[in-house]
Amino acid sequence: MQGTSPSFPYVLGSEGAGTIAAVGDGVTSRTVGERVFAASFLNPTGGFYAEYVCVDAGLVAPVPAGMSTSQAAVMGGVGMTALRGLEDVLDVRSGETLLVHSASGAMGHLAVQLGKRLGAAVLAVASGEDGVALAARAGADLSIDGRAEQVADGARRFSADGLDAALLAAGGPEADAAVAAVRPGGRAAYPTGVQPEPASAPGVEPQAFNGEPDAELLARFMALIGDRPLDVHIAHKFTLDQIPAAHHALREHHLGKLAIAFA
């Protein structure tokens, strides 16, 4: 994706948080000692699975008041991806109905909160009773278990005339049902890489989008947070030597995000 051949060892990690140790020549927006978070997809200088990382100053922002460093570390990439889909692709407006699929996952539980802040009425399709509870805590107007209730039934209970928009953080039969619940002429979107790709429905063609962060998107993200920090759920924290276990845990049922903490 970078157009280059990887060299090893390759340092993973597209989002993180910590304290600024140094700033480059000409950087005036940030100062040494600030507690900040950053997102940098496929960072060519190496990612956040490290004690030190070098990122573009335009992709760095202060940790919002009331948030832990760990919460800020895991919200930047998925939060801005969600906002890219909600604002730039779906163009969610105040008063519209929005379905968030995989609403108890990493991107989904933040998308529920951002959708509410944009003024939408949010139907959350989550996974399991614990996922339904998390989506409800995130502010969903209605939260259903997509494995226990037909998405179509929940959508009809939520909006008899069909939904205006759907943001899909995962593929599969429930995602296809979510698209089908959108009214003809409505919108559906999913981040590039979701597999299987959601199927179209009459009058609704799901759009793939890229969620790479930039300074303008980060500014919008921070403005939407304002003085009300997002409720970022961390299922488990791992240490540096537990990174293999963290990657295995991604394949198991969990809510929200997993975090890697450095001593």
Domain locations in the chain as residue ranges? 15-76+213-261, 78-209
Residues in the chain: 263
Q: Give the pLDDT of residue 25.
A: 93
Smallest CA-to-CA distance from 57 within 39, 74, 75 is with 39
Q: Give the pLDDT of residue 46.
A: 81
Dihedral sign of CA atoms 171, 103, 213, 237 in order: negative
> pLDDT tens, position by position, for the chain (263 residues)?
667 777 788 889 999 999 999 999 999 999 999 999 999 887 777 899 999 999 999 999 999 999 999 999 999 999 999 999 999 999 999 999 999 999 999 999 999 999 999 999 999 999 999 999 999 999 999 999 988 889 999 999 999 999 999 999 999 999 999 999 999 999 999 999 999 999 999 999 999 999 889 999 999 999 999 999 999 999 999 999 999 999 999 999 999 999 999 87
pTM score, whole prediction: 0.94
CATH label, 15-76+213-261, candidates 3.90.180.10, 1.10.3720.10, 3.30.390.50, 3.30.460.10: 3.90.180.10
The helix (H) or strand (E) run that includes residue 77 is helix 69-83
The architecture CATH gives domain 78-209: 3-Layer(aba) Sandwich (3.40)
Sequence-separated (6 or more) residues with CB below 8 Å from residue 153? none
Q: Are 189 and 90 in contact (CB under 8 A)?
A: yes
Smallest CA-to-CA distance from 198 within 157, 170, 165 is with 170
Q: Give the pLDDT of residue 1.
A: 65
Sequence-separated (6 or more) residues with CB below 8 Å from residue 80? 39, 211, 213, 217, 218, 221
Q: Is 130 helix (H, G, I), strand (E, B) or coil?
A: helix
